[in-house]
Amino acid sequence: MLRCPQCGSLLQTLDLPCPVCVAEVAPPPDDLKHTFSKTFQNRTAYQYRPDAFVTTLNRWLMEQRTLERLGVNIHLDRQALVRGVTLDCTSGSEPATAAFQFARIPLAKGIVFARNHQDLGQALNAWVEMHPQFRRLNNWVMSMNGRPVETWLLYAMPRVVADAESDAPWS
């Protein structure tokens, strides 16, 4: 049996460092991480306005200057309309080098009677070609009656570009 030379605990593998010794070492105060969740509700009285909702999400994400990681859970209703988004965030103590943003890519014309369907792969490839400086992270497909209608794309942009775009008026 192999034992750690410092604490004497049994080692399961030959990997270093010892997991017991590493757990005892506290992280330095500069590397403190803050993990939290934030939920946004898409409440519209009479009309579904996903563009306004994405603008709200993007504005909030732009304000989070230290956001390092982002997990997303999209809440859909029976008609595959986005009714909310929960963001699982991890922030650090230093400003992040990238900003997270959402983009909506339509895959069909019309909501009720969707027609002229575009292939998801082609739509994603076209978006990447149009935005080579952005890094695509994930996408979610909203479908109606088994047919994809649109995809929501999460991407990261360099903070320098994000700051320049935040000076421009929001549409």
pLDDT value for 170: 43
| Section 73-88 average pLDDT | 90
What DSSP assignment string belongs to 56-84?
A: HHHHHHHH-TTEEEEEEEEEE-TTS-EEE
Per residue in 53-79, pLDDT (tens digit) is 999 999 999 999 999 999 999 998 888
Amino acid at 81: L
Residue 2 has pLDDT above 50, yes or no: yes
| 110/152 Cα distance (integer angstroms) | 16
| Section 141-163 average pLDDT | 86
What DSSP assignment string belongs to 124-165?
A: HHHHHHH-TTSEEEEEEEEEETTEEEEEEEEEEEEHHHHHHH
Domain ranges of the chain: 1-31, 32-166
pLDDT value for 147: 82
